[in-house]
Amino acid sequence: MEGNYAIIVAAGKGRRMKCKINKQFIDINYKPMLYYSVNAFCKHELIDGVVIVCSKNEIQYCKTEVVKKYKFTKVIDIVEGGDERQNSVLNGLNALKNYNCNIVLIHDGARPFVTHEIISDGIKYSKIYGACTCGVSVKDTIKIKDKKGFSFQTLDREKLFLVQTPQCFNYKLITNCHKKLLQEDVKVTDDTTVVEHYDNKVYLYDGSYNNIKITTPEDLDTANMIIKSLAR
C-alpha cells in the first residue's frame, strides 16, 4: 500500500530570530516549538511516517528532546539539512526513497499551529491535483516598492494569496522537479515554486490565520497568544 509521509524541515539558522538557540527548540508553553508540528503530523491517522530535517549538530538533541521525550513513534528518520531550504527538502525527499510514498507533505518546523483539517485537506487535494498548498487571503493592501522607497504599484488584493505550509505533492512529481532544479541552480523560497517552474498546476486551499511561521521575536509573542486562545 502506498502511503502519506510528512517532511518537517528544521535545519535553518533562524537568523531573523536573533536567538542563541535554534528557533525550533525555543519553548512555547513549556514545549519546544518543533514538538507542535511533529505532534500534529504524528497523531494524524492518515500519516504513515514523518522525517525531520535538522542541522547536523542538532540531530541528537532533536532525537532526545523531541522524538524520544514525547514518544513520537511515527518519526522514521532524522536527517541532516543543507545550506538552503531546498537542499534540506531534497535530503528529506531522499530519506523517503525506500518507502512506498505516494503523497508527501512538506512543512516548516517553524509553523507550530498546523491543524488536523489542514493536513487532511492537503492529502485530499494533492491526490486530486498532484500539488497543493494551504494559505490565506491577504488582509492588507500590498504594494511594490521601488528602489528609491516610493510606491511603484498597488496589487489587486482580491487576487493575492499568502502561502503557508504544508505544501503537499505526489512524491514522484516533487522529487523529480527538485532534482532537476538542483542541476539548473535556480533559487526558490518554497516548494510549490519548484513544480510551477516545470509548468505544473498548484491548487491553493484554505489554511488558517493561526498557521503562522515564527520568524522574528515578536512572532513568539503572537505564538504564545495563539496557544492560549487554542487552550480555551
Q: Please name every residue paired with 149 in a beta bridge, in sequence order, or none if there are none.
A: none
User: Which residues fall within 8 angstroms of residue 139, CB to CB, at 6 or more apart?
Assistant: none
Instruction: State the Cα–Cα distance between residues 129 and 69, nearest whole angstrom.
Output: 37
Q: Which is nearer to ligand CTP, 84 or 196 (CB)?
A: 84
From the list ligand CTP, Mg ion, none, which binds 215 (C-beta under 5 to 8 Å, kind-based)? ligand CTP
Please list the alpha-helical segments (H only) found in the chain. 33-42, 59-62, 85-95, 116-129, 171-184, 192-196, 217-231
For residue 15, the minimal CB distance to ligand CTP (Å) is 3
Q: Tell me how far, at minimum, the Cβ of 11 lies from ligand CTP, in Å.
A: 3
Q: Which of ligand CTP, Mg ion, none does 39 bind, CB closer than 5 to 8 A by kind? A: none
CB of 71 to ligand CTP, least distance (A): 23
CB contact at 8 A, 73 and 41:
no
Sheet strands side by side (includes 3-10):
75-80, 49-54, 3-10, 101-108, 161-170, 131-137, 203-206
Instruction: Write out the binding residues for Mg ion, residues 2-61 only, by CB under 5 A.
Output: 12
Q: Return the half-sphere exposure (C-beta side, CA atoms, 13 A cut-off) of residue 56.
A: 2
Give 2 or 21: the residue with its C-beta nearer to ligand CTP: 21
Between 49 and 81, CB nearer to Mg ion: 81
Nearest CB to ligand CTP, comparing residues 53 and 75: 53
Of 32 and 109, the one with the shorter C-beta distance to ligand CTP is 109
Dihedral over Cα of 136, 141, 146, 152: its sign: positive
Closest approach of Cβ 107 to ligand CTP, in Å? 8
In angstroms, give the least distance from the CB of 197 to Mg ion: 19
Residue, CB closest to ligand CTP: 12
Query: What CA–CA distance (Å, rounded) separates 35 from 175?
Result: 26
Residues of this chain that interact with ligand CTP (CB under 6 A) are 9-16, 24, 53, 81-85, 88, 108-110, 213, 215
* Residues near Mg ion, by CB under 5 A: 12
